[in-house]
Structure 1
Amino acid sequence: MRRARKRAGHGRVHVVGGGGMSATTVSDVLRRLTVVFTEFEGRLEQTPLIRKLTRGRFELDDYHVFLIGLRQQVKDGALWMSRAASNIGEEHLELRSTLMRHAVVEHRDFRLLEADFVAAGGALATIQSAEKNIGSEALSAWMFHEASKPNPFGLLGAMWIIEGLGSIKAAEWGALVRQRLDLPDHAVRFLLYHGENDAEHIAEFEQMLGMVLPDEATAARIVRTAQVTARLYALQIEEMTA
């Protein structure tokens, strides 16, 4: 994860509401998360859909399947963040507020996917009525399960995977889709938008780590949650077939 690796190497973090935080601890967790993301990125590159995209065999039906699959996960995203925020105790109000802001900002993002689908020739009713694929079902169940726990700090690991994907891969994928299918910008807005904006979210992620660390049990849970989320997210992409 190129940008993340650079930040982790610097080891500088602005602490918000954490108190007694060690920059080294955050840097260590970031390094561990970077390893998880690097493995995740390699797994994604081996999925049939992404292989077609990177090797020039991507077709319009593939893009439609991709948008349909992402819509389900994106729509659930704001919901599990809201649930997670509601389960964070008073001693971590700043983190609760941050998650709530994220939920508010992103709760309509699935509408961008719908608009892209229609702009790329799909019918709105098709994407709105589609069922989750097997990977999306598993990912959604996992996220809500974790969000329902008291002080579900492990979900910071899930956010690292999802926001990192937007920061590192979304713009690249958006440009490839536009090129391969000769689509206008307004048919790939979701990917291009997240490629531009999720990098800021990654910077904020470091601040959120500072609110719950140092604590080795919490650090281990964050990394473990990232590992599970990465595997289920990859399964979601694996199940996207035209």
Structure 2
Amino acid sequence: MSATVEGYRPPEHDETSLLARLADVWAEFEERLLVVPILRALREGDVTVADYQCLLHNLRQQVVDGSLWIARAASNFDMDHFDLRSAAISHALEEHRDHLLLERDYVAVGGSLDQLRSGRKNVGSQALSGYMFHQANQPNPIACLGAMFIIEGLGAQKAAEWAQQFQEVLGLADNQVHFMTYHQEADAEHTGKLDAILTSDRIDAAAADAIVSCARVVARLYALQLTELDVI
């Protein structure tokens, strides 16, 4: 339809919509990732196998907690939110073996499985997990959708790119970066399901505010997790 037709007005971009607000949070998150030391070194081709091991070692401790807080959130949705409970249960089921993929990659690049499993969360991982369990323990914790937006978006939009860069710089095989490459496809599917919920009539104004707030906090804490890497 032409804009010259009488009475026609082109649709305006709704900057107050939930997805638009989350897009702003994502843009801020991407800016934070640009200055994360290991990611900057990766872009510049200045990483080592030890750096990659360190990244996996630090990520694993938080990945283990991911399915746990999602399951906790599911248990706190009441019957009026049964559809969200079901979605969270399904998501937790899909996520609860992710740490095994990471462990196989870690061993494939020469890491010790015992050392990996005995590791502890770094400063950012502790803050992120603590915050997420707090959110998941709330009644009808719909704010957790904001965390999923950031974390699933990271897998869908960044993980495969990082895997390719690690392969190019370090000459790694596919079975050494499977954790990251797997999440491109898996998390793309998850984000599609998430977007359907975020644009549904389930989300009122108060829920939207809570989701955006949670997304903003998780974006900062995830960047902190990637910055405060404990040396192994």
Please say whether Structure 1 and Structure 2 have the same fold, judged by a TM-score greater than 0.5. yes
2: distance between equivalents of 1:128 and 1:181? 24
> Are 2:58 and 2:230, in contact at CA under 8 Å, matched by a contact in 1?
no
Match of 2:187 in 1: 198
Shift of 1:209: 2.0
Shift of 1:179: 1.2
> Are 2:19 and 2:198, in contact at CA under 8 Å, matched by a contact in 1?
no
Aligned counterpart for 1:104 among listed residues 90, 93, 112: 93
Shift of 1:200: 1.0
Aligned counterpart for 2:17 among listed residues 25, 28, 36: 28
Partner SS, residue 229 of structure 1: helix
Amino acid of the structure 1 residue aligned with 2:56: L
Amino acid of the structure 2 residue aligned with 1:145: H
Q: TM-score, normalised by structure 2?
A: 0.91
> Are 2:146 and 2:211, in contact at CA under 8 Å, matched by a contact in 1?
yes
Higher Cα Rg: structure 1 or 2? 2
Shift of 1:45: 1.4
Aligned counterpart for 1:50 among listed residues 33, 39, 43: 39
1:183 equivalent in alignment to 2:164: no
2: distance between equivalents of 1:63 and 1:31? 34
> Are 2:122 and 2:230, in contact at CA under 8 Å, matched by a contact in 1?
no
> Are 1:213 and 1:219, in contact at CA under 8 Å, matched by a contact in 2?
no
Amino acid of the structure 2 residue aligned with 1:237: L
Q: CA RMSD in A?
A: 1.8
1:215 equivalent in alignment to 2:204: yes
Pick the structure with more helix per residue: 1
Any stretches of 5+ residues in structure 1 without a counterpart? 1-10, 12-23
User: Aligned pair count?
Assistant: 220
Alpha carbons of structure 1 residues 147 and 212: separation in structure 2 relative to 1, 3 Å: farther
